[in-house]
Structure 1
């Protein structure tokens, strides 16, 4: 299983073999995998190598360590690391996505959005995103009516990005703020759960290639099911 003469690092070979065993069901979701000592003996490598491989798998959200108990297989999460619609993320992962539109209405532009949109009327779109039968996210989107052609609830069961691209917009990037929120009775009902689950709230402005704020979105995700990866880098001249 491990080729110590290979140019591929031993820890990486080990990591990939553990991932293979998980995918094949040798270790199932929620199950404790072998201890570092047991893995060291079965693979014939040092515990330091085992620790490095397991550490990377924990960082990738595949395993989780519980102090005093062991290392367990995590439930797979929807992972987003770039500018991609939720629909396309799920399609790429091979999951089954259902979108339930809770509301599609035209509202007066809220006072706190006057500095974002110079229009009197906005569409307010409220949708639930359900993956493989489990409710993962609630999305509330605000977009000027003037930016859209005809939209209805049926269209909104698909990708909003694709709808807007059909209207001629090219989405470039988004500006987001992220915070944790506390599960309460409202969210238990919204997400159809009877226990406390961790939630994250993301407030974002999505911007076109010509600098126009296309829509504002406030999304709430189950963070035990959804992982947002953010790359932060410095650009020349921005930080001194």
Structure 2
């Protein structure tokens, strides 16, 4: 097990951070979970400076990409902040207190339901396919390996809202179409014992393809919001790679953001 080098001035020393290289749990996830626990238990003080990635990786005996991914996970969760030229710091106490709850990992179906809108779903495709390169990387499988592909049309209050495309590893159960049309994917996965834990998401924009325009009642090339999201379980294994296209005139992304100290 790799452990941090001893340095009495290092706030990480007392934490006894270490990773088990023989474990199937990804190294970045092991590190992120230890840091998260230390922050939430108060063993890593608000405002504590972790330094830059190079120094941090050297102290832990890990690669820089592994440390970067672990820190990025906690930045996304609102527990760490980064400042260019300074490094990574635990969110100061005042900011943490005023932040409110961290953004929840929910499905679009449940978001609509919570907002008082009437969600509905049509399953357009459910099949086992060969994983393209980007999906394979996201799910941690070989390119061309068999994965489940799911495409749905999500409606809100009877109007088409989004085309949802998901790829899932074969180990993840795929509920019948009737269940997928009645509930959100996350809710069904949890019921089957697969619990989404966290995700990394990118929001972008592009023009609607011919098929998307037809499904969403838009013109071809009309602007759509895109959501690319990789969801993992508590062990760090990917359970879904999602690529959604959403009508921006029918949906609003509302988030609370904090400025660094």
TM over 0.5: yes
Structure 2 residue ranges without an equivalent (≥5): 1-102
The residue number in structure 2 matching 1:151 is: 175
Alpha-carbon distance in 2 for matches of 1:184, 1:211? 33
- Counterparts of 2:158 and 2:216, CA distance in 1: 11
Q: Which one has the largest radius of gyration?
A: 1
Distance 1:133 1:193 in 2: 15
After superposition, where does 1:33-182 map in structure 2 within 5 Å?
82-116=104-138, 117-118=140-141, 120-148=145-173, 151-157=175-181, 158-182=183-207
Distance 2:194 2:257 in 1: 26
**Contact 1:122–1:144 (CA under 8 A) maintained in structure 2:** yes
Across the two proteins, how many residue pairs are aligned to each other? Answer: 155
Query: Quick check: 2:172–2:194 contact (8 Å CA) kept in 1?
Result: no
Tell me how far 1:179 sits from its aligned partner. 1.1
The reply on whether 1:209 has 2:231 as its aligned counterpart is no
- Give the Cα–Cα distance (whole angstroms) in 2 for the partners of residues 131 and 184 of structure 1: 21
Alignment CA distance shift 1:107-1:132 (3 Å): same
The TM-score with structure 1 as length reference comes to 0.58
Q: Structure 1: 5+ residue runs without aligned partners?
A: 1-80
Q: Distance in 2 between matches of 1:169 and 1:108?
A: 22
Quote the offset at 1:175 in angstroms: 0.5
- Give the RMSD, CA atoms, in angstroms: 2.4
Shift in CA distance, 233/195, structure 1 to aligned 2, threshold 3 Å: same
Q: Is the 8 A contact 2:121 2:155 kept in 1?
A: yes
